[in-house]
Structure formats: C-alpha cells, structure tokens
Amino acid sequence: MEHSEEFDEILDGNRLFVRRWSQDLFWICFVIYQFMSVKATQSLTCSSNKRCECSSIKDNKLKADCSRRQLSEIPRFDHSVVDIDLSGNENLSKIPAINYLPSRLIRLDATLCNLQHIELGALQGLKNLYYLDISWNPELTLDVLSNITNDLIGSNIKTLKFNAIQCSEGAALKSKVQSKNPAAKLCYHKEQFIPGSDVAENIVNAVNCSRKTVCVLSEYFLASEWCIYEFKMANLEKIYKRGDQNSLIILMLGSINTDCVPADIMTYLNSRSYLEVPSNIDEFDVYWDHIISVVIDE
C-alpha cells in the first residue's frame, strides 16, 4: 500500500512535469515563430516608404506594391525590385529625372495618378523595362512621349500604354516640326488662343488661318466637347472651303470604344486614312517622320 502511494506521487509529479514542459515548449515555439515572422517581413522590405508592400516573385526578385498609398514622390527601391505598382497615387504629379527606380525594373504601372510630367532622363538606364503603363493621367499630354522614347532607346520595352491622356501633341510636335522647318508656324492653343475671347471663336479662327489641323483621337478627346467641336470645324473647313484637300490629319491614340465615337467622326475614319500612335517604342522615329512630312507638306 505504501509502495502504491509512493508510486502515485511519483506519477503525479511526472505528469505535472510533462504538463509544465509542454506549456514551456508551446511558448518557446510561439516566440520562435513570431521571431521568424518578423525576420521574414524585414527581409522583404524593399522600399524607403514603409507603406509599400513587398512580395517575393522568384529568383530573389521582388514586387513593390505602392498603389493607393497617397505617395507624393517616388520612394527609393531596393535593386532587387523588378515590378513596381504606383497606380492610384493622386498626389504623384511627376516622375523626375533624378529618382531611385531600380535598374533591373521590368514592369512599371503609373496609372490613375495625377502625373503632369515625365522629365527627360526619368527612365534612362532602365534597359530591362518591358512594360510601362501611364494611362488615365488626364493632366499628362503626349509631349512626354518624346522624353520616354529618348530614354528607352535600346531598352527591352514591348508594351507602352497611354490611354486617356490629353489629346494635345503640344510642344513635342511643335519642336519636332520646327526642327525640320524653322519657318513653320504652329497654332498651339496654350500660346496662340487669345485670352478673354470666346473659345469657339478661337477655334474657328485657328482652323481658318491654318493650312492643316491635327486631331489626336483618344478617349480624352471624345470626352471633350471642345475637342469634338475642333474636329467638326476642321472637317467643315476641309469639305466646304478647301475643296476636300488633305487639311485634316487624324492621329489615333490607343484603343477606343467605337460605341463612343460620334457618327461624323466614325464616317471620316471609315473613309479616310489616319495615323496610329505606335505602342512599340522602336516605331516612334518613323511615326514622327511621317507626321512631320504630312504637316509641313505644301
């Protein structure tokens, strides 16, 4: 009997020891797990802005998701980052020439921001860049295409998207035309439209006084009543005053939903040739040469 009681006491003690040891082991494992989780999170830090989320893709390459983070400037990125999403940052107004985009970058999404300018040199050195999307930046004009094409010469760029940006070729077309023909004069609305005058009057005067009118057909163009009005006036001028001469030039920018195209513009597109702004960076030199030859052709 005494032996049995002594044995029970030993057994109870062992049970208590095992129970305590199990609890201790649980907490040790929990602490180790938390430590490893923190280390894993720290190892995926790839941006100077802590609001950006980083994830591993493969082969030690990283993706930085900085979308909708209220960024006002482009942060510094680790050299292992190959995919950056900057979309939805409404305070981001430009991509400056001096920035910290990693040289190994393959994909850059800067849609739905408030971009107004992409400086010359901003994308220089990104030889691996394969995909660039700057669509849906309504303050961005086609002027930036000149900077982009210069920066990405010799790169691997295959996809360049710029839907729903402003329809004006602006300073880019002006500078390129005048480089070929310094005597050429271009009516650029920001410079030639008379302040205080009626917009419609400015448009009619510009069309009447110009040998040719260039319309860049885009989603932004179709959403603007004044852009539509410019086309109508130029088309009427072409038909009734110029004897149907080649005085109206259409440049097609990006993909367009034909259901949104007015009937008179659709009729024109179905019966006339027009130029398409290329998405392939290697075709831009030919594109600009073609535009310039048509614009300055007497």
For the record, the structure tokens of 136 come out as: 């849906």
* Amino acid at the residue 245: Q
> Residues 9-42, buried b or exposed e (16+ Cβ, 10 A)?
eeeeeeeeeeeeeeeeeeeeeeeeeeeeeeeeee
Q: What is the pLDDT of residues 82-131, one digit of tens each?
A: 999 999 999 999 999 988 899 999 999 999 999 988 998 999 989 999 99
Question: 């201790």: which residue's tokens?
Answer: 24
Structural domains present in the chain: 40-166 (3.80.10.10), 170-296 (3.40.50.10140)
Considering only 82-96, 148-162, 171-185, which range has the smallest mean pLDDT? 171-185
Q: What is the pLDDT of residues 50-65, one digit of tens each?
A: 999 999 988 889 999 9
For the record, the structure tokens of 87 come out as: 């979309």
Q: What is the pLDDT of residues 259-273, one digit of tens each?
A: 888 999 999 888 888
CA distances from 204 to 223, 230, 242 (A): 20, 8, 15
Q: What is the pLDDT of residues 210-227, one digit of tens each?
A: 888 888 887 778 888 888
Which pLDDT score, from 0 to 100, does residue 23 have?
A: 57
Average pLDDT over residues 174-200: 77
Name the pLDDT band for 170 (thresholds 50, 70, 90). Answer: low
